[in-house]
Structure 1
Amino acid sequence: MMMLSLSKGGGDGGLDLSAIMSRMSARTGALVLKSVSIFLTSGRKASVNSKKPSTESPPRRRRRRRPDDASMKTYHAKVVDTLRKKTRFSRVELEALCKIYRKLTSLPGQQKGPSILSKGPQTIQTVEGIDRTIFRELMHNTFDIITEDALIERMFCCWDRECEGAIRLESWITGLDVFLRGTLRDKMEFCFRVYDLNSDGYITKDEMFQLFKNCLIKQPGEEDPDEGVRDLSELALKKLDVDHDGKVAFTDYEAAIKDEPLLLEAFGQCLPTEESCNAFLITLQP
């Protein structure tokens, strides 16, 4: 995993965030296309968390039957009609995204997120969708998002808006709409939601500390490695807190980015590279 090295700016006390924004060299379009092709056509086994044995009998699980091809095609056709009006994808692109989704959700070992429907003994049903393992592989291998697992988890939660533990078809497509065709404001809103760790509408200094701590390289011989993180969090707060209320609201974040666009991913990469986006869009063409 790539670790980012961050440092403070010059004598004026400003924040040098260039290192935060540095990314790994983008792969060539051919390599990304190859990655997408290999990923979509080969099965990846999802890691299964080990469970401790229990003396109590586990709740009965009712597995939702996979719809037949005719039902699935009908459902996808309705989704395409709906999202054609809500997204910036063409009908051809939406149909291609539905096909990719079907491939991803049918990979061997694909986990399903639990959805609690009632309080009886038969309470747990599985939700079909893209799980965390597949999502992480997509971000790393297809969209060149090389970041720490904690940030990937936050991204997954932002895509999984229903908190079901799996990304459904509609969320998959609307998430990609931001990635591939989103405006600057769309991307600002997404990044802000990722960095707002407790989803209270603000990025606090404590949240900045956690985000920076996850991506800073610990220097050998440092007595207090958290000291630099605290200093950097303080500097970031001064840079982004436009109204000086001690926390960063979206309006603060938006104003700071309009003044300095490089601050968009100040707390870690959570958007794909331009090259990977272009390569992925090519795969959607007939």
Structure 2
Amino acid sequence: MIFGMTAATGDLELSMVRHQPEGLDQLQAQTQFTRKELQSLYRGFKNECPSGLVDEETFKTIYSQFFPQGDATTYAHFLFNAFDMDRSGSIRFEDFVIGLSVLLRGSVTEKLRWAFNLYDINKDGYITKEEMMAIMTSIYDMMGRYTLPSVREDSPYEHVERFFQKMDRNRDGVVTIDEFIETCQKDENIMASMQLFENVI
């Protein structure tokens, strides 16, 4: 996980310099986290990002620490864009914790919707083969050559060809969110790969 969970007591501190998070009650209602977990996450977030906002460079620096065996820069860029829901160029605590709640505790469909948003790089509502290739390549680069279990059993290109063929049901060259969710839910291999994807959050 990007920001560590630590045992914490007391209420959410609201002494942020540039950005104050929404009320704790509202965040608790929007996420699957308990009040205590939100307080712990907030302390970890604020420790890493005292201003209350994370820009892309800071995000890359933090994220890369978790994958010293590979190059996490490109994947961190895509992940940052998925968390930066309002396209402001920075991630607020709310953005981070709502995304994290989906990834850790959301339903399968919620997780798949989030994954679709990650793969849909230009946010046009479709995934192209090129977009899928860019994400897969970045995951291969990040995981590194010597990671176990190995993600280098086949090349990103072969991986994408196989996935895309299954997902693009009407053969129009793009994958819609409905095609993505339906295919993923029916295919054990794809769901296993989604599990790998969750592990690199």
Counterpart among 132, 137, 155 of residue 56 in structure 2: 132
Partner Cα separation in structure 1 for residue 31 and residue 162 of structure 2 = 37
Is 2:86 the partner of 1:162? yes
The aligned counterpart of 2:33 is 89
* TM-score, normalization by structure 2: 0.69
Structure with the bigger percentage of helix: 2
Aligned Cα root-mean-square deviation (Å): 3.7
The aligned counterpart of 1:246 is 173
Shift of 1:168: 0.8
Q: Residues 108-129 of structure 1, C-alpha deviation per residue, up to 9 Å, x if partnerless?
A: xxxx8xxxxxxxxxxxxxxx51
Q: Residues 231-279 of structure 1, C-alpha deviation per residue, up to 9 Å, x if partnerless?
A: 6544432211123332211111111111124324859964236xxx9xx
Partner Cα separation in structure 1 for residue 106 and residue 67 of structure 2 = 15
Consecutive unaligned residues in structure 1, runs of 5 or more: 1-31, 38-68, 107-111, 113-127, 218-227, 278-286
Partner Cα separation in structure 1 for residue 128 and residue 86 of structure 2 = 25
Counterpart among 96, 112, 116 of residue 192 in structure 1: 116
Q: Residues 129-174 of structure 1, C-alpha deviation per residue, up to 9 Å, x if partnerless?
A: 1222442344454599967422221110111112222211211211
The secondary structure found in structure 1 opposite 2:170 is coil
Partner Cα separation in structure 1 for residue 14 and residue 136 of structure 2 = 49
Larger radius of gyration: 1
CA contact (8 A) 1:144 1:272 kept: no
1:1-286 to 2 correspondence within 5 Å? 36=4, 71-72=15-16, 75-76=20-21, 78-106=22-50, 128-141=52-65, 148-214=72-138, 215=140, 233-264=160-191, 270-272=197-199
CA contact (8 A) 2:63 2:72 kept: no
Partner Cα separation in structure 1 for residue 64 and residue 53 of structure 2 = 19
* TM-score, normalization by structure 1: 0.51
How many residues were matched structurally? 177
Q: Which has the higher contact order (CA 8 A, sep 6+)?
A: 1
CA contact (8 A) 1:158 1:194 kept: yes
The secondary structure found in structure 1 opposite 2:91 is coil
The answer to which of 207-216 and 176-185 deviates more is 207-216
Partner Cα separation in structure 2 for residue 157 and residue 243 of structure 1 = 28
